[in-house]
Amino acid sequence: MANVPTTLRSAHRNFRRILHPDMTPMVGLGFLLVTFFLLAADFVKPTVMQLTMPMNYPRDANDSFCPGFDNSLSLILGKNGRVHYYRGGLFSDELPELHTILGGAAGLRRFLLDARQKDPRVLVLIKPSDNATYRDLVDALDEINITDQKRYAIVDLYDLDYALLKQYNL
């Protein structure tokens, strides 16, 4: 290049190619992303479980016995996913014995299946305590649904339930 005149060398340097990139694959990728997100949003629809609450039956003021509660099973939802339970109602001044199990498939599900096998007409009373979370309640309802319990209700804790929890330091 030593013999090439300077005017040709400078003209050669100023010459640049203008690149026109093909954007067709990028447009296709954009449509694939939009399609993926629309499809993913369609799969994340919330599911709803039907919950039927028991009717409030009118009771006589002198009647202290509620029919059906003699074969009841009370589940008190505690903290850290623990479930405290006792059998029968709180009709006497003597407090029943309180037992504790873990929630989930290993604890609550197996316990509910055993209780249903012993007595198919058992009434399960779910009583969320102040320490229970909303997730604990939903998990308990899921286990009720999985074990196909026909008779259950969500009720508030009674004063005797609070006394029972206090007796066991829970």
CATH number at residue 154: 3.30.420.270
Per-residue pLDDT, 63: 47
Does residue 149 form part of some domain? yes
Does residue 10 form part of some domain? no
Does residue 2 form part of some domain? no
Burial of 85 (0-12, 13-18, 19+ CB in 10 A): buried
Gap between the Cα atoms of 55 and 67, Å rounded: 13
Average pLDDT, consecutive stretches of 10 residues, N- to C-terminus, the chain (170 residues): 56 68 87 90 73 60 52 86 83 76 82 88 89 88 88 86 83
Does residue 25 form part of some domain? no
> Which domain range does residue 125 map to?
72-167
Per-residue pLDDT, 31: 92
Does residue 125 form part of some domain? yes
Does residue 52 form part of some domain? no
State the pairing for strand pair 72-77/123-128: parallel
Count of structural domains, the chain: 1
Does residue 4 form part of some domain? no
Does residue 86 form part of some domain? yes
State the pairing for strand pair 152-154/123-128: parallel
Per-residue pLDDT, 160: 83
